A and B are shown apart, each in its own frame.
Chain A
Amino acid sequence: MDFFSILYYRFKKVWKSIRLYLVIAGPGLVVMIADNDAGGITTYAATGAKYGYHLIWFLLLLIPVAYYVQEMTVRLGAVTKRGHAEAIFESFGAFWGWFSLIDLMFVDWLTLVTEFVGMTAALSIFGVPAWLTVILVVLLMSMIVLNGRYWTWEKIALGFCLLNLIYIPAAFMVNPSISSILGQGLIPNLPGGFNNELFFLLMANIGTTIAPWMLFFQQSSVVDKGLQEKDIKMGKLDTFIGSIITVAVAIFIVIVTGTLLNGAPIDDAATAARMLMKTNHYIGALMAIGLFDAGLLGAICISLASSWAFGEIFGWAHSLNTKVKEAPWFYISFFITLATAGVVPLIPGAPLVLITLFVQVVAVTLLPAALVFLILLLNDKKTMGEYANTPLQNIVSTLIVVMIIILSTLYGISALFPNLFK
C-alpha cells in the first residue's frame, strides 16, 4: 500500500471511532458536567475567592478520582443491564436495598431544593421573581422529559452541558495572568498552611465531585440508553472526557473569582455573580447564567436518578423511551419530586441554610455505602465475568473510595459540629 492509501485507511478508522463515540457519548458527559451543579459552582467560586489560583493543582487531582468511581457504573450497567438501586437490592438483599433507596430519595430531594435555590437566586439577578423561575423550570423540565425518547432527552441535556462551558469565555474576559496561574496553581501547595478553613474547602471540593446521585444516575442512564458490553470502551472514554471537562469548568470558575474577587467573602455563587457585576457587568451576567444552567442540569439528572431507582424496585416501566400512559408512575414520581422541591425556596423563612447543611450530612450516610457496594459488585466475577475489577483497578478504586469516605465523613461531621476541628 502506498502512503496515501495508508493515510486514507487510518483516517477512515479514526473517523469510524469518532462516529461510534458520538453515538455512545452521553451518560458520562451529562453526569460529569451536571456534577458542576449549583452547589458545585458555589464551592468553586468560594475556592477561587479565598485562595486565588493556589488550589488548581488539587482540582486536577479530582479528574482520576471522578473517573475511576464513575467508570465502574458504566461497566456494571452495561453488563448487568440493571440500575444501581436494583443491583443493590438483588445482590445485598432488601435491608441494604431499602436503606439505599430511602436515603437516595432524601438526598436527591434535598439536593434538588439547593438546585432550585441556586436557580432562583441566579435569575433574581436579572429581576425574574422566584415563583416565575420555579414555574418555568418545572414546565421546561417536564417538557424535556415527556418527549418520550431517551435520545432526545440526552441531546437536550447535552445542549445544557454546552452552556456550562460559559465560564471558559468568562475566564478569558478577566485577563488573568497566565504565569501566575501556572506558577501558583500547578505546583502543589497549601496556601496559609493546613488549617480548618482550608481543610473544609478541600473536603467541599471532593464532596461536590463525587455525589451519591451520580452513581445511581449514570448506571441507570447506561441501562436506559441500552449500552452493551461492546460499548464499555467508548462509555469509559465518555466518562473520562466528562471528568476532564467538569474539572476544566471548575478551574475556569476559580480563575474568574480568583482574579476579580480574591479575598472577598463568598457565601454562594449568586453573591459572587452580583459582586462580579459591579466589576464587569458581562462577566457577572455570564456567572449568573452559568449558575442557572448548573442548577437546571443538576435538577434534570437528580430528579431522574430518583425516578429510575423507584421504577427499578417497584417494577414500574421506567424508561425515557416510554410515553406517559405506558409509565405513569415513573413520570408522576419525577414530577412530584421536582414540584415539591421547587416549592421550598418559595416558602417565606424556609430553613435553606439548614437544608444545605443537612444535604452534606445525609449524603455522608449514603455515599460510603453506595461506594462500598459498587466495589463489591465489581468484584462479583460470577456476574461481571471479564469486566470484573482487575487487582490494579481494585487497588486504585479502593484507595480512592477509602479516601472519599474518610474526607466526606469528616465533612459531614464538621457540618454537624462546626467547632470540632477548630
Chain B
Amino acid sequence: MRMLKQFIRKIREINQRYAKPKIEMSKGVSFSLAVLRVYLFVLVLLMIYKFITVL
C-alpha cells in the first residue's frame, strides 16, 4: 500500500514537472500535433472495431 502511494505521488510529481511543453508552439508544431492526434484516434478506432468484430 505504501509503495502504491509512493508510486502515485511520483506520477503526480512527473505530471507537474512536465505540465508545460517547453517547445515553442509555432503553427507548424501545433499542426503536426493535431494531425498526430487525429491519426492516433483513427488508429485506435480501427483497433477497437477489429477487437469487437473478432469477439
Indicate whether B55 reaches chain A with its CB closer than 8 angstroms. no
- Report whether A368 and B21 are in contact in the complex, using a CB–CB cutoff of 8 Å: no
- Report whether B32 and A372 are in contact in the complex, using a CB–CB cutoff of 8 Å: yes
Indicate whether A416 reaches chain B with its CB closer than 8 angstroms. yes
- The answer to whether residues A380 and B43 also contact, given A89-B18, A92-B33, A93-B18 and a CB cut-off of 8 A, is no
A276 to B37, CA, bound (A): 47
Contact residue among B14, B32, B50 (Cβ-Cβ distance under 8 Å from A313)? B14
Known: A89-B14, A372-B36, A413-B46. 19 other contacts (CB 8 A): A91-B23, A92-B23, A93-B20, A93-B21, A94-B18, A96-B21, A365-B43, A368-B39, A369-B40, A372-B32, A376-B28, A376-B29, A379-B28, A380-B23, A409-B39, A409-B43, A412-B43, A416-B46, A417-B50
A-B contact pairs, 12 of them (CB 8 A): A93-B21, A99-B40, A365-B43, A368-B39, A369-B36, A372-B32, A372-B36, A376-B23, A380-B23, A409-B39, A409-B43, A413-B46
> A residues within 8 A CB of B14?
89, 94, 97, 313-314
Nearest residue (CB) in B for A86 is: B18
- Report whether B23 and A94 are in contact in the complex, using a CB–CB cutoff of 8 Å: no
Interface string of A351-379 (1 = CB under 8 A from B): 00000000001001100110010001101
- Report whether A97 and B36 are in contact in the complex, using a CB–CB cutoff of 8 Å: no
- Report whether A382 and B21 are in contact in the complex, using a CB–CB cutoff of 8 Å: no
Restricting to A371-422, which residues have a CB under 8 Å from any CB of B?
372, 376-377, 379-380, 382, 409, 412-413, 416-417
A-B pairs, top 4 by smallest CB distance, nearest first, are A93-B21, A91-B23, A94-B18, A89-B18
A364 to B50, CA, bound (A): 15
- The answer to whether residues A93 and B46 also contact, given A365-B40, A369-B40 and a CB cut-off of 8 A, is no
- Report whether B21 and A92 are in contact in the complex, using a CB–CB cutoff of 8 Å: yes
Chain B contact-residue range equals 20 to 34
- Report whether B18 and A368 are in contact in the complex, using a CB–CB cutoff of 8 Å: no
Indicate whether B52 reaches chain A with its CB closer than 8 angstroms. no
A92 to B22, CA, bound (A): 7
Indicate whether A90 reaches chain B with its CB closer than 8 angstroms. yes
Nearest residue (CB) in B for A362 is: B47
> B residues within 8 A CB of A361?
47
> A residues within 8 A CB of B40?
99, 365, 369
Interface residues of B (CB under 8 A from A): 10, 14-15, 18-24, 28-29, 32-33, 36, 39-40, 43-44, 46-47, 50
Nearest residue (CB) in B for A92 is: B21
What does DSSP make chain B's interface, helix, strand, loop or mixed? helix
A289 to B43, CA, bound (A): 38
A365 to B28, CA, bound (A): 21
> B residues within 8 A CB of A413?
46
- Nearest CB of B to A100, in Å: 11
- Report whether A377 and B23 are in contact in the complex, using a CB–CB cutoff of 8 Å: yes
Contact residue among B24, B28, B32, B46 (Cβ-Cβ distance under 8 Å from A382)? B24
A265 to B19, CA, bound (A): 52
Nearest residue (CB) in B for A366 is: B40
- Report whether A376 and B50 are in contact in the complex, using a CB–CB cutoff of 8 Å: no
- Report whether A416 and B24 are in contact in the complex, using a CB–CB cutoff of 8 Å: no
> A residues within 8 A CB of B23?
91-92, 376-377, 380
- The answer to whether residues A364 and B43 also contact, given A92-B33, A416-B50 and a CB cut-off of 8 A, is yes
- Report whether A314 and B50 are in contact in the complex, using a CB–CB cutoff of 8 Å: no
> B residues within 8 A CB of A372?
32, 36
Nearest residue (CB) in A for B23 is: A91
- Nearest CB of B to A91, in Å: 4
> B residues within 8 A CB of A96?
21, 33
> B residues within 8 A CB of A364?
43
